Amino acid sequence: MEFKVNDIAMILNGTVEGDGEIIIHNISKIDDGVPGTLTFLSNPAYIKYIYSTRASAVIVSTDFVPEGALSCTLIRVNDPYTALAELLKMYQQLKPARSGIEQPSFVSSSARIGEDIYIGAFAYISDSVIIGNNVSIYPHVFIGDNVFIGDNTTIYAGVKIYADCKIGSDCILHSGAVIGADGFGFAPNAEGPFSKIVQVGNVILEDMVEVGANTCVDRATMGSTIVHRGVKLDNLIQIAHNVEIGENTVMAGHSGVAGSSKVGRNCMIGAQVGISGHLKVGDNVKIGGQAGVMSNIADNSTIIGSPVQDHKDFMRCMAIFRRLPQMSGDISDLKKWMKQSEQK
Amino acid sequence: MEFKVNDIAMILNGTVEGDGEIIIHNISKIDDGVPGTLTFLSNPAYIKYIYSTRASAVIVSTDFVPEGALSCTLIRVNDPYTALAELLKMYQQLKPARSGIEQPSFVSSSARIGEDIYIGAFAYISDSVIIGNNVSIYPHVFIGDNVFIGDNTTIYAGVKIYADCKIGSDCILHSGAVIGADGFGFAPNAEGPFSKIVQVGNVILEDMVEVGANTCVDRATMGSTIVHRGVKLDNLIQIAHNVEIGENTVMAGHSGVAGSSKVGRNCMIGAQVGISGHLKVGDNVKIGGQAGVMSNIADNSTIIGSPVQDHKDFMRCMAIFRRLPQMSGDISDLKKWMKQSEQK
Amino acid sequence: MEFKVNDIAMILNGTVEGDGEIIIHNISKIDDGVPGTLTFLSNPAYIKYIYSTRASAVIVSTDFVPEGALSCTLIRVNDPYTALAELLKMYQQLKPARSGIEQPSFVSSSARIGEDIYIGAFAYISDSVIIGNNVSIYPHVFIGDNVFIGDNTTIYAGVKIYADCKIGSDCILHSGAVIGADGFGFAPNAEGPFSKIVQVGNVILEDMVEVGANTCVDRATMGSTIVHRGVKLDNLIQIAHNVEIGENTVMAGHSGVAGSSKVGRNCMIGAQVGISGHLKVGDNVKIGGQAGVMSNIADNSTIIGSPVQDHKDFMRCMAIFRRLPQMSGDISDLKKWMKQSEQK
């Protein structure tokens, strides 16, 4: 793929400073750009690299004022990051899309499949499955009985979806994701092993949900585990049975939500966070990495720690935690002094 | 599937209060029941929902005394939770079971396969494998050489079992579980990369073990990594080489046990817990979420924290941790006062 | 496989004490050895077992001096652990290797495949893939377009490698590993769901890298996520987009490195460690289990805690943390005393 800088600027509704006839054939990072590539400058921490980058062109903000000589062509736009995102999207769309039904694959005769779809070799589609239009199902995907999959959804190689689950439109499920495995439900027994509580519910992923690689969303005991519209789950996350994750909430890798907890909308949840069962986390909550949530959390909270507390309070307490040896010494001194004073 | 309330009550050995002729066609949660469904009341926190539930019938305890008007039929039983578990089990057994050997699948001519089994398309069964009766092997399962699988075990789509491992009877392995990958064993080298210690042992899962989605149990360096009878492992758990997990112990998601540690019987291990290598955790130990176990633990302990301490002690310490800024201020005041006193 | 003790000693360049004609047919651990097996003694904590082991022969150090009667034959070598590692390696090499291309598998006509390779049934190899010599690709492996795989690499069942990634020589990828899934990149939106930032980069695993079961290495937004030569990753690890892991660094299970962070060479990273994004961790850094790294780390540091601090400092602070209730009491006493003193 090759484009002139002028053509890219036109697409991005930007203006060119420098040689607009240069040919661009790839995208690079500003700190390791090579000739023939286009890069961008959005984070101020990276401004220093623009004076030495070997990339041929750089997308910058309309109000960027260089403080040194530049050897690259500039494309000025209102918001370089958004412009880049658009460009990356176009770049991907130029790649040839997979299509058709490869053989050998296994598609039940009772499955209903939409148009313009891709089903890779070794994919398995069970009875009574319904698949919308423009869906991509990569090799080694397993789709259980009665599963519904909406339009424009991409399911990468090796995803497993158990029976009765519903996947919305415009979703992306990455390799190794497991949707609808049994919730972890057992009843203690007077004697011997726990009894399994059969999990008869399902999982609902609404539209525009992205599920990272090897992330697990368990089916409900009864009813549904629900991941609402626009939620983005990173890799290796655990969403337990009967959990509900609110619209547009994002969760980073290795986080987990235990059974029956409800997380609100627009939350940002860091990596390796644990949320205990049967809790309610409000809307717009920010949770720092490795936090342990063991109680309900009010809307708009910013929390961290295990168990969690307000973010600023935690940082204050941690700063003192690190001075504990000195504090302990101070107390010893004070006690000694008190003893001496009393003996006088 | 449709049943009269009277029929269900008879199966559960319960008594009916209200209209026993109502037809039930599904199971629901009490807080989002719909007409035509059956629900249950076990956790006292949910009692309030019984007065407004739209479910047609509710399983309650024999000693439940309503404090308001009820529009649903009651089925009274001794233990509603156990009754529900039985009912869910029956519900599942009514679903048609998968059976037969689908094509294309790959079954070595030296494998010995029992009766009444299901082998899904794209399943791979290697040389000298022995599979018992009434076993279900879903699509995309890989079973390595010399693996043994006991009767009535279910292996869901995409499970990978390396050579020489032994899986007991009545086990359930969920999608993405990996049994018998190499233990993480390397020897430092005078120069350059670590040398791999070849892992020649295996994994033994005894009877009635359940392994969650994407959980890993590594093979032993020599000998066996052993998960004893009745152990239940949640999703995304890591069991390292030469570990032993005692009978009926349950572990929640994202927990890990490092090499050669032994965990006792009837333990309850929370989510995101880490247990270091070469340790011994006793029987009946309860470990809170996110705990870090770096020493041996006595039988019957209840512990939390990283590194762990007694649960009550930890809670006491954490309460004071949150008051550290005030404590630090107090000490400053005391020091100032001491200084002033000395100068008098 | 059967060998005389004398033969094994010759291979290991060791000397025999006792009956060298005994036949060995397996390897065992010293604490559960059985007749006909060979074991080893390296860790001093296990010396006590040598007097009671039922193993027929034990590899010991040249300077081992028994303090009791031994019923086993000894093989004396300079370094028992290294000798064992060699022996295990030979043991494995005696096993028959998988070879050939099994059917049904899916290999694109544009893929170039080396010699002496194994491609298992249900493996999927996409367009323009290049695979070196002596490579093993187990069943259910998916390899995307343009992927390169170097010589002598083993890819176990069910590994998924997305398009454009490069895997070096002498690598081992365990089941369920996902290489090259999209980085977790989203741009906030004025209204509604986040916008996906298309991830057009790739993943590079250099030579001699081992990747554990169900571990994920995400592709870069632009450029490459790089895992350098000799890195060993345990199971269930998350390496985010644009991360770089330096040569010979080892990471234990459940650890994660967030976007764009660079970890140095020869680091040892414990289990369940989290490293935040855009950080630099130096060379030879040791990080304790469950640590949370939220700032740059200097070369040769030994750290632990969340957020991390120097290991010894942390241990000192934690010791005092556990005495906080007493400290709090002391402060109360001091305050009371101060008040009384002032009132005098």
How many residues are recorded in chain C? 344
Position A1 scores a pLDDT of 65
C337: enclosing H helix or E strand: helix C324-343
- For A125-180, the pLDDT digits (tens) are 999 999 999 999 999 999 999 999 999 999 999 999 999 999 999 999 999 999 99
- For B223-266, the pLDDT digits (tens) are 999 999 999 999 999 999 999 999 999 999 999 999 999 999 99
Q: Which of C57, C55, C29 has the alpha carbon at shortest distance from C43?
A: C29
- Average pLDDT (B85-110) is 91
Those residues whose C-beta lies under 8 Å from the C-beta of residue C280, and which sit 6 or more positions away, are C261, C262, C264, C296, C297
Position C1 scores a pLDDT of 65
Q: Quick check: helix, strand or coil at residue C10?
A: helix
User: Is C48 among the domain residues?
Assistant: yes
Asked if B330 is an interface residue toward chain A (Cβ–Cβ < 8 A), one would say no
**What share of chain B has pLDDT > 70, as a percent?**
99
Give the pLDDT band (50/70/90) at residue B28.
Answer: confident
Give yes or no for a contact between A291 and C223, defined as CB atoms under 8 angstroms apart. Answer: no
Find residues 202-221 of chain B whose CB sits inside 8 Å of chain C: 214, 216, 218, 221
Residue in C164, C196, C224 to test binding to A, most A beta-carbons within 10 Å: C196
Position A33 scores a pLDDT of 85
Give the pLDDT band (50/70/90) at residue A43.
Answer: confident
The Cα–Cα gap between B80 and B60 comes to 6
User: Structural domain tally of chain C?
Assistant: 2
Q: Of the residues A25, A140, A228, A241, which is catalytic?
A: A241
Give the pLDDT band (50/70/90) at residue B330.
Answer: very high
- For C152-167, the pLDDT digits (tens) are 999 999 999 999 999 9
The Cα–Cα gap between B18 and B71 comes to 9
* CATH number of domain containing A85: 3.40.1390.10
Give the pLDDT band (50/70/90) at residue B32.
Answer: confident
Position A27 scores a pLDDT of 86
- For B158-201, the pLDDT digits (tens) are 999 999 999 999 999 999 999 999 999 998 877 778 889 999 99
Those residues whose C-beta lies under 8 Å from the C-beta of residue A259, and which sit 6 or more positions away, are A183, A184, A185, A240, A241, A242, A243, A277, A278
The Cα–Cα gap between A271 and B133 comes to 43
The Cα–Cα gap between A128 and A139 comes to 20
Give the pLDDT band (50/70/90) at residue B43.
Answer: confident
Residues in A closer than 8 angstroms to C142, CB to CB, are 138-140, 157-158, 175
Answer whether B214 sits within 8 Å of C210, measured CB to CB.
no
- For C171-206, the pLDDT digits (tens) are 999 999 999 999 999 988 777 788 899 999 999 999
Position B26 scores a pLDDT of 85
Find residues 122-151 of chain B whose CB sits inside 8 Å of chain A: 122, 138-140
- For B45-86, the pLDDT digits (tens) are 889 999 999 999 999 999 999 999 999 999 999 999 889 888
Position C24 scores a pLDDT of 92
How many residues are recorded in chain A? 344
**What share of chain A has pLDDT > 70, as a percent?**
99
Asked if C323 is an interface residue toward chain A (Cβ–Cβ < 8 A), one would say yes
Q: Which of A60, A65, A58, A57 has the alpha carbon at shortest distance from A79?
A: A60
Position B189 scores a pLDDT of 75
Residues in B closer than 8 angstroms to A256, CB to CB, are 236, 253-254, 271-272
CA angle A311, A313, A317 (to 5 degrees): 115
- For A222-257, the pLDDT digits (tens) are 899 999 999 999 999 999 999 999 999 999 999 999
User: Is C83 among the domain residues?
Assistant: yes
Give yes or no for a contact between B103 and B89, defined as CB atoms under 8 angstroms apart. Answer: no
Task: Give residue B288's identity as a one-letter amino acid code.
Answer: G
Asked if B270 is an interface residue toward chain C (Cβ–Cβ < 8 A), one would say no
Give yes or no for a contact between C158 and C194, defined as CB atoms under 8 angstroms apart. Answer: no
Residue C302: Cβ within 10 Å count: 16
Give the pLDDT band (50/70/90) at residue A89.
Answer: confident
Pairing relationship of beta strands C15-17 and C73-77 according to DSSP bridges: antiparallel
- β-bridge mates for residue B106, sequence order: B124
Residues in C closer than 8 angstroms to A334, CB to CB, are 334
Position B31 scores a pLDDT of 85
User: Is B219 among the domain residues?
Assistant: no
A316: enclosing H helix or E strand: helix A311-321
C139 prior amide bond cis, ω within 30: no
Give the pLDDT band (50/70/90) at residue C342.
Answer: confident
Q: Identify the closest residue of chain B to A214 by CA–CA distance.
A: B214
Q: Quick check: helix, strand or coil at residue C339?
A: helix
Burial bucket for residue C259 (CB in 10 Å: 0-12, 13-18, 19+): buried
Q: Which of A161, A158, A325 has the alpha carbon at shortest distance from C310?
A: A325
The Cα–Cα gap between C192 and A215 comes to 24
Interface pTM, i.e. ipTM: 0.94
Distance from the Cα of B161 to chain A's closest Cα (Å) equals 16
Position A289 scores a pLDDT of 98
Q: Identify the closest residue of chain A to B336 by CA–CA distance.
A: A334
User: Is C165 among the domain residues?
Assistant: no
Asked if A262 is an interface residue toward chain B (Cβ–Cβ < 8 A), one would say no
User: Is B49 among the domain residues?
Assistant: yes
Q: Identify the closest residue of chain A to C106 by CA–CA distance.
A: A121
Q: Average per-residue pLDDT in chain A?
A: 95
Q: Of the residues B241, B254, B278, B311, which is catalytic?
A: B241
- For C231-267, the pLDDT digits (tens) are 999 999 999 999 999 999 999 999 999 999 999 999 9
CA angle A284, A289, A291 (to 5 degrees): 80
Give yes or no for a contact between C108 and C125, defined as CB atoms under 8 angstroms apart. Answer: yes
A188 prior amide bond cis, ω within 30: no
- For C251-309, the pLDDT digits (tens) are 999 999 999 999 999 999 999 999 999 999 999 999 999 999 999 999 999 999 999 99
Which of C34, C68, C94 is the last residue in one of the domains?
C94
Which of A94, A119, A140 is the last residue in one of the domains?
A94
Q: What HEC string does C20-78 produce?
A: CCCEECEECCHHHCCCCEEEECCCHHHHHHHHCCCCCEEEEECCCCCCCCCCCEEEEEC
How many residues are recorded in chain B? 344
Closest partner residue to B212 (CB to CB) among A162, A181, A196 is A181
Give the pLDDT band (50/70/90) at residue A311.
Answer: very high
CA angle A292, C307, A328 (to 5 degrees): 100
Range of the domain at C335: 314-343
Position B1 scores a pLDDT of 65
Asked if C112 is an interface residue toward chain B (Cβ–Cβ < 8 A), one would say no
Q: Quick check: helix, strand or coil at residue A18?
A: coil
Q: Average per-residue pLDDT in chain B?
A: 95
Catalytic residue check, A278:
no
Give the pLDDT band (50/70/90) at residue A95.
Answer: confident
User: Is A65 among the domain residues?
Assistant: yes
Match 């949530």 to its residue by tokens.
A293
Give yes or no for a contact between A42 and A63, defined as CB atoms under 8 angstroms apart. Answer: no
Which of C60, C94, C128 is the last residue in one of the domains?
C94
- β-bridge mates for residue A217, sequence order: A179, A239
Task: Give residue A255's identity as a one-letter amino acid code.
Answer: S
Answer whether C158 sits within 8 Å of A158, measured CB to CB.
yes
B252: enclosing H helix or E strand: none
A104 prior amide bond cis, ω within 30: yes
Q: What token pair was written down for B288?
A: 């809170």
Residue A299 DSSP label: T
User: Is B128 among the domain residues?
Assistant: no
Residues in B closer than 8 angstroms to A334, CB to CB, are 331, 334-335, 338
Q: Quick check: helix, strand or coil at residue B11?
A: helix
The Cα–Cα gap between B135 and A249 comes to 40
Alpha-helix residue ranges (DSSP H) falling in chain B: 5-11, 80-93, 311-321, 324-343
User: Is B339 among the domain residues?
Assistant: yes
- Average pLDDT (A189-209) is 90
